């Protein structure tokens, strides 16, 4: 699967985030990438500028949208 352009974030847990117009993609420092379906683009925009991307993720995305693993680094 091709990922959308990803923006690096300053977080110990999250590496980068991206949005393809319908889903949010989150790359974790562990090497796993998940897609979260139905996340609005404005929520993604908030994540890009969030002082704490990990807190933003926990409050706005985690447990609120269906997700799937899309990539696992070797």
User: Does the model's pTM come out above 0.85?
Assistant: yes
Q: Are 28 and 70 in contact (CB under 8 A)?
A: no
Rounded CA-CA distance 5/32 in Å is 16
In whole angstroms, what is the distance from residue 51 CA to residue 70 CA?
26
Contact between residue 70 and residue 36 where contact means Cβ atoms under 8 Å apart: no
Q: Taking each helix axis as running N to C, give the angle between helix 53-60 and helix 41-49, from 0 to 180 degrees, rounded to the nearest 10.
A: 150
Q: What is the pLDDT of residues 26-62, one digit of tens each?
A: 999 999 999 999 999 999 999 999 999 999 999 999 9
């Amino acid at each position: 699967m091709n990922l959308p352009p990803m923006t690096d974030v300053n977080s110990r847990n999250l590496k980068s985030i991206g949005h393809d117009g319908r889903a949010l993609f989150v790359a974790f420092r562990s090497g796993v990438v998940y897609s979260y379906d139905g996340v609005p683009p404005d929520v993604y925009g908030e994540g890009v500028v969030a002082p704490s991307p990990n807190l933003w993720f926990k409050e706005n995305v985690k447990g609120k949208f269906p997700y799937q693993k899309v990539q696992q680094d070797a």
